[in-house]
Chain A
C-alpha cells in the first residue's frame, strides 16, 4: 500500500474505531483523535521529505501512486498519487488536521460524534487532494463537506447558528452540484468512459473538446468551484459560517477544505479546457479583485473578530484567483504557494480566535482590549498571525503573494496594482485595527482576571502552525522546487505552448537584447 493510502486511511480507520468506544471514555476519544491525525501528519511529512527521491509512478507524472479498479463499467477507480501541486496541500492538510484535533478542548458534549465527524472530515479532505479520479475526488470532498454542516449545526455557537448552517449547507451544496454537472459533462464529452484524470488528460490532449463544449463546461466548473472557494460575489457564506462554526471545523474548512475548489480549477479546468480558460481569464482577474479589494474593504468594517478573519480569508482567496488568471509559471506557482500558506494561516487565526472566545466569551472587538498583557502567548501568536495575514516577509504568505504579483503584473498591471493596494494597505488596516482593539491599549476592568492556560499541550497546535508558516516563509524553495515542474505542465497544457519551454534556472546571465 502506498504511503498516501495510509495517510488517508489512518483517520478513517480511527473514526471507525471510535464508533466502538463507549461515549463516556472522553479521554480515550481525544487521544484516538489526536494520535490518528498525528500519525497522518508524520506520514505526510515523511512523504513530503521523500518526494524528491521517490520514483515516478506508472502514469509517469505522479509519485506514490496507487490504483485499484472499482466500478469498471463506469471507469471509476481508486487512484491516488501526488505531484508538485498536491504534495504540499496534503502536507498542509495533515498538519492542520492535527492542529484542529488538538484544538477541540472546547467541545464538552457529544464528544464521540464530534471526534468521529472530525476524523471523517480529515480523511475526506486528504483523500480529495490525493485522488486522481474525478469521481473519488468529488466523493471524498462530499465526505468531508457533510460533517462540516453537521458540526456547525450541532456544536456551533452564536445566535445565528441555524441560519449560518442553513446558508453554508445550501451554498456549498449548490456549488458542489454545479461543479458536479460540469465534471459529468466533461466525462461524457471526453468519450473515454473514464473518470481517471491521467486518462482524461491524455485523451483531451490528443482530441481537445470542441470550443462549444469547453465554453459550456468551463463556467460550470469556474462558478461551481468558485462558490466552494467563496469567489466574489458568492462569498457571504464564509464569514457567516466561520463565525458560527466550532473552532476545529473552522480551522479545517477555512484552512484546507476550501482549497478544494482552487485545486480542482488548477488540476482539472485549466489543463483540460484550455480554450475556454483563455476566454475567461479577464473575468477571473476582475472577480479576484472583488475578493481582494472589495472583501478587504468589507473586512475593515467588521466589529466581530471572527467575521473579520472570515472576510480576510475570503480576500486572500483573491490572490489565488489572480495567480490562476495570470496563467503563467510564476502565477500558478504563486497560487499554489498561497493556497498552502493560507491554509496554515487560516487555521492559526481561527484556532486563536476560538481560544480567545473560550476564554473571554466574546469576540466583539470593542469589548476587548489590552489582552496581550494577560495572555502573552496567545496574544503574540495572534499578532504574528495578523502580520502573516498582511503579508509580512518571513511568513509563507508573503512568498506566495509576491510571486503572484510578479506573475500577474505583465498580463494585468491595473488589476495587480489594485491588488497590491489591497494586500499592503487594506490588509494592514484591518489587521492592525484588530490588534489595536483587542491586544493593545488599556486593559478593561472586566478582563483583569483573564489568564491563558499554562498547559503546553494547549499551545501545541498554534506552535506547529506558526512554525510551518515560518519554515515555508524562510525557505519557500522547499515548496516551489516541487511545485514548479507540475505548474509548468499545467501552464503548458493550458496555453498550448510547446513542452520545450526551458526552465531557465541558471544563475542570472547578463544578456544584451538584440533587436
Chain B
C-alpha cells in the first residue's frame, strides 16, 4: 500500500508536466497551481510514507519494481527503494521544492513563460525524485539524464539571452562528460557482478569480491565521474557558476537543494561499492572533494555578483560533502547535505528577494543598507548566513562538525586542517556579502528605492529559516546513521544533550570550528563593515585577480583544452572527410569513370556510316575468329 503511494509521489510531478503541456499551456495561473499542487501533494505523501517507515522499525520498505527493459542478462527495472536515505532525500526534494514553487509564484509573476517555467520545474522535480527513489543503477542513470535535461531547460529558461543559452549548453555538456564515466562505471559493475539492482549488488558483492576487487578502483572512480559532473566537483565544476543565468528560484532549487546534491546522494547510495578493501577510489574522492572546497571558497572571496558568491559557496560545501564520503563518512555527508539544503535554499531565495527588491541588480557593490528596507529578507538571510558559517546552535554547526569529526576519526589530518580553513573562508565571504548588502550606506539609486518582497516570497524564507535553525537537533543524523550503521547504538536521547553533543563527542573539531567562525567574522567585520569598495584587490594583488577570474579555469578549458583536443580532432576528421574521402576517393573514382567516358565518346561520330562500318568490321572480326581459326 505504501509502495503504491510512493509510485504516486514519483508520478505526480510528471502528471503535472503532462497536464500543463497538453492542456493549460496558455493559462499561466492554472499551470502554476497544478504544478504547486503536485509538489505539495508529493511532499505530504512523502511525509505519510516517512511516518509509516519510522513506525515500521525496518531498514527499508519492500521494493516495488516493474520490468522496463529485459533482454538476456540486461535487466533494467523501474523500481522504488524506500529506506532512510531515499525517504530523507524525498522529503528534502519535495519539501524545499514546495517552498521554491510557492516562492516562484511571486518571483516569476510577470514572466511571459510562466506556464513553461512551472512545467519545467515539475519535470525537474519528477527527475530528481526518480534519482532519489531508484532501486537500480539504470533507473538512476535514466533520471540522472533527465535531471540534466530539465536543468538545461531551466537554466536556459531565458533562452533569448545569449549568456543564458550558452550557460545551459555548458551545464548540460559538462554533466554529459560526467555521465560518460558514470555509464562506463555502471557497465563495469554490471559485467562483473551481473546485476544492476542496488540490493542485489550488495548481496552479490560478498561472494564475488575476488572478481570485483581488481576493478574496484576503476569502477569506483568512473562512478564518481557522474557525481563529479552533477555535484560540480573539480575539474567539472565550471558549469555551476554559469548556471546562475537561470531565474533565481531555479538556482535555489537546482544548485542548492537538489540537483547538485544528487551526486553526493548517489555516492552514498553506492557507498558499498566504493568502500571495498584494496580500492583507492575513496582516497581520490576525499582529496578531490577537499580541493574543490578550498578552490571554490577562495574564488567566492573575490566575487561581486551576489548569486555567484552563493554559487561558489555551494561548490565549496559540496566539496565538503564529497570529502566526507571519501573519508568513509556517508552519514556526515548526508547530514550536511540535508542542513545545507535548508540554509542554501534560504540564502538563494533571500538573494532572489534582494535582487527583486533591487530591480534585478546583482552586483553587491551597488547595494547597501538593505537591512531597513527589507527586514524580513535581512533577518532570514542572516539566519542562513549564520547557519552556513556554522554558528552554534544552528544546523550548519552540527553537520559541519560531524564532517570535521569524521576527518579526525579516520586520521585525515591534512583534510581536517583544510576543512577548518575552508570554514574560516566560508564565514569570511558570507559576512562580506552580508555587510556589503545589508549594512553601510546605499551605494546606488536602486538601493535607495529598494522595497520588501511580497508575502508569497517572504513566507518560504521564514519557514526555511526555522528549518535552518532547528535542523541540527531534529535527529536527522540518527536517521542516516540507521541507514549506514544499523548496528550503532543511538546516542543523545535528551534535547539538552543533543544540543551539546558535538562538544562532548569530538571537542577538538567543535572548538576549532567555532574558532574558525570567529576569525572569519572578525576579519570580515574589520574589512567590510563600513567600506564603500573592496579593499582586498589592493592588498592581495595578483592573487585577488586570479580569484576573481576563477583561477582562469574557464579560459583554460575554452582556449586550451577543448580547442586542442576534441575540436582539433573534429577539424581533422572534417578535413579527412572533405578532402580525402569525398574529395580524393569519391571524386577520384567518379573522375576516372568520367575520363574513360570522355575517351569513349570520341568514337561516337554520329555518322550513320561510321557505325555501319564498325558493325561490319565487328562482324568480320567475329567471323574470322569463329571460322578461320
Give the complex CA separation of A170 and B582 in angstroms.
Answer: 13
Q: Mark A415-430, 1 if CB is under 8 A from B, else 0.
A: 0110011001110110
Give the complex CA separation of A462 and B165 in angstroms.
Answer: 25
Q: Is B184 an interface residue (CB 8 A)?
A: yes
Give the complex CA separation of A297 and B571 in angstroms.
Answer: 8
Give the complex CA separation of A424 and B142 in angstroms.
Answer: 13
The answer to whether B172 and A432 touch across the interface, beta carbons within 8 angstroms, is: yes
Known contacts A393-B142, A409-B187; decide if A476 and B72 are in contact (CB<8 Å). Answer: no
Known contacts A236-B586, A442-B162; decide if A425 and B176 are in contact (CB<8 Å). Answer: yes
The answer to whether A508 and B75 touch across the interface, beta carbons within 8 angstroms, is: yes
CB-based nearest B residue for A426: B566
Q: Is B204 an interface residue (CB 8 A)?
A: yes
The answer to whether A372 and B159 touch across the interface, beta carbons within 8 angstroms, is: yes
The answer to whether A508 and B74 touch across the interface, beta carbons within 8 angstroms, is: no
Give the complex CA separation of A510 and B70 in angstroms.
Answer: 17
Q: Label chain A's interface by main secondary structure.
A: helix
Q: Among residues 546 to 576 in chain B, which have CB atoms less than 8 Å away from a CB atom of chain A?
A: 566-567, 569-574
The answer to whether A406 and B190 touch across the interface, beta carbons within 8 angstroms, is: yes
The answer to whether A393 and B146 touch across the interface, beta carbons within 8 angstroms, is: yes
Chain A residues near B176 (CB-CB < 8 A): 390, 424-425, 428
Chain B residues near A398 (CB-CB < 8 A): 142, 145
The answer to whether A505 and B582 touch across the interface, beta carbons within 8 angstroms, is: no
Among the listed stretches B195-203, B301-309, B497-505, which one makes contact with chain A, having 4 or more residues with CB under 8 Å of it?
B195-203
Q: Mark A368-399, 1 if CB is under 8 A from B, else 0.
A: 00101100000000000001001111100011
Number of A residues with CB within 8 Å of any CB on chain B: 65
Q: Is A458 an interface residue (CB 8 A)?
A: no
Q: Label chain B's interface by main secondary structure.
A: helix
The answer to whether B160 and A425 touch across the interface, beta carbons within 8 angstroms, is: no
Chain A residues near B70 (CB-CB < 8 A): 477, 480, 505
Known contacts A406-B187, A425-B177; decide if A512 and B207 are in contact (CB<8 Å). Answer: yes
Known contacts A298-B574, A424-B180; decide if A403 and B74 are in contact (CB<8 Å). Answer: yes
CB-based nearest B residue for A484: B71
Q: Is B455 an interface residue (CB 8 A)?
A: no
Known contacts A329-B72, A330-B71, A424-B179; decide if A298 and B566 are in contact (CB<8 Å). Answer: no
Known contacts A330-B72, A393-B145, A399-B69; decide if A440 and B574 are in contact (CB<8 Å). Answer: no
How far is the CB of A497 from the nearest CB of chain B, in Å? 13
Chain B residues near A294 (CB-CB < 8 A): 573, 577
How far is the CB of A440 from the nearest CB of chain B, in Å? 4
Chain A residues near B184 (CB-CB < 8 A): 417, 420
Q: Mark B429-467, 1 if CB is under 8 A from A, else 0.
A: 000000000000000000000000000000000000000
Chain B residues near A300 (CB-CB < 8 A): 566-567, 570, 574
- Which of A301, A442, A508 has its CB near the most chain B CB atoms (within 10 A)? A508
Q: Is B470 an interface residue (CB 8 A)?
A: no
Total A-B pairs in contact (CB under 8 Å)?
A: 150
Give the complex CA separation of A329 and B183 in angstroms.
Answer: 20
Known contacts A298-B573, A508-B197; decide if A370 and B74 are in contact (CB<8 Å). Answer: no
How far is the CB of B569 from the nearest CB of chain A, in Å? 6
Known contacts A330-B72, A420-B180, A510-B200; decide if A236 and B577 are in contact (CB<8 Å). Answer: yes
Chain A residues near B71 (CB-CB < 8 A): 329-330, 333-334, 403, 406-407, 480, 484
Q: Is A436 an interface residue (CB 8 A)?
A: yes
How far is the CB of A468 from the nearest CB of chain B, in Å? 17
Give the complex CA separation of A300 and B570 in angstroms.
Answer: 7
Q: Which residues of A contact B (CB under 8 A)?
A: 166-167, 170, 233, 235-236, 240, 294-295, 297-298, 300-301, 328-330, 333-334, 370, 372-373, 387, 390-394, 398-399, 402-403, 405-407, 409-410, 416-417, 420-421, 424-426, 428-429, 432-433, 435-436, 439-443, 476-477, 480, 484, 503-505, 508, 510, 512-513
Given A432-B172, A510-B203, 20 more pairs with CB closer than 8 A: A170-B590, A233-B581, A235-B581, A240-B582, A301-B574, A370-B159, A393-B146, A402-B69, A407-B74, A409-B187, A409-B190, A421-B180, A428-B176, A432-B169, A432-B173, A435-B169, A440-B165, A441-B160, A508-B195, A512-B207
Q: Which residues of B contact A (CB under 8 A)?
A: 67-76, 138, 141-143, 145-146, 149, 156, 159-162, 165-166, 169, 172-173, 176-177, 179-180, 183-184, 187, 190-191, 195, 197, 200, 203-204, 207-208, 566-567, 569-574, 577, 581-582, 585-586, 590
User: 6 nearest interchain CB pairs?
Assistant: A440-B165, A236-B582, A301-B574, A297-B573, A393-B142, A329-B72
